[in-house]
Amino acid sequence: MSSPPLSGLFEHLKAACPAAWRAYTRHEFVARLGDGSLPDAAFRHYLAQDYLFLIHYARALGLAVYKADRLQEIRGTLGVLKAIVDVEMGLHVAYCARWGLSEAEMEAVAEDDATLAYTRFVLERGAAGDLLDLHVAMAPCVVGYAEIGRALAADPATKRDGNSYADWIEMYAGTEYGAVADEAVRQLDALYARRAGPGRLPELEKNFAAATRLESAFWQMGLNAAAAAASPAGR
C-alpha cells in the first residue's frame, strides 16, 4: 500500500500548481463576491451555468458509482448522488428563483464554452482513468469552494451588510459544506493509498492543474457575460 504525500494528496496537488490555484481562488469574480461589486448579470449567468454544471456533476457521480469496486465506496457515492439529485438541485433552483431565474429558463440556456470544457474534462478523466482520476478532476470544485468561502468569511475586507452575495459566502464557508469538502480530502488520500503511488503523481498533478484552470475559466465566464451584456453591441 502506498501512503499519500505527507502533506496529504490535496495539499500536494495544490502546491504543485501554485499560480493556477491562486488565479482560481483569488479570481476577480471571487474578490467581487467579497466586496459586493460583482455585476448582477455576471452572477445570474454563473448561476444558470452552475445549474447545468450540477447536472453533469450528477453524471460524474454516477460514473463514480460504476468505477467503484467496493460496496462501501458504492454506497457512499450513491448517497452523495441522491443528495445532489433529490436535495441540492432543489435548493439551487430555489436560490436561483430569488435572482429571477426559473428552472425552465435555466434548462433552456445553452452551455457556455467554459461549462462544456470543465464538465467534459471531468467526465473524460473519469471514463479514461479510475476512481482516483475522477475525484482529482472534481477536487478543485468540491474542495476549492470551501477554501474560497472560508477565506472570504475570514477576510475583514469582505462586505457583510448589504452584500447581495453574503448568503453565497455563508453557504460555502459553513460547517455543512465544510464537512463535504473535508470528506472529499479524506477520500482522495484513501484512494491514493489504495490505488496509486509516487509514479502516478505527475499525471495527477497535471490533471488537477488543468481542472483548476478550467475552474478559473468558469469564473471568468460570468465576468465576460456581464461585459458583453453591458456593451452597446450586447444590448
Q: Which of 209, 52, 51 is nearest to 136 (CA)?
A: 209
Closest by CA position to 222, among listed 54, 27, 20, 25? 27
pTM for the full predicted model: 0.93
- What pLDDT, in 10s, does the model give residues 6-42? 789 999 999 999 999 999 999 999 999 999 999 999 9
Active-site annotation holds for 215: yes
Residue 234 is assigned to a structural domain of this protein: no
Condensed to tens digits (0 to 9), the pLDDT of residues 131-162 reads 999 999 999 999 999 999 999 999 999 999 99
Grid cell in block for residue 162: 448589504
Single out the residue of 131, 128, 125 nearest to residue 64, CA to CA: 131
Position 2 in a domain: no
> Catalytic pick from 17, 73, 96, 141?
141
Contacts of 145 (CB under 8 A, 6+ apart): 172, 177, 181
Question: Is 124 among the residues known to form the active site?
Answer: no
Query: If DSSP codes are grouped into helix, strand and coil, which group holds residue 124?
Result: helix
Give the chain's mean pLDDT. 94
At 1, the pLDDT band (50, 70, 90 cuts) reads very low
Number of domains composing the chain: 1
Q: Is the model's pLDDT at 201 over the cut of 50? A: yes
CATH number at residue 216: 1.20.910.10
- Is position 42 within any domain? yes
Distance of CA 193 to the CA centre of its chain: 24
Q: Is residue 171 part of a domain?
A: yes
Whether 233 is in a domain gets the answer: no
DSSP per residue over 177-227, as a string?
HHHHHHHHHHHHHHHHHHH--GGGHHHHHHHHHHHHHHHHHHHHHHHHHHH
Out of 17, 73, 147, 215, the active site residue is: 215
Domain that holds residue 111: 9-226
Total number of residues shown for the chain: 235
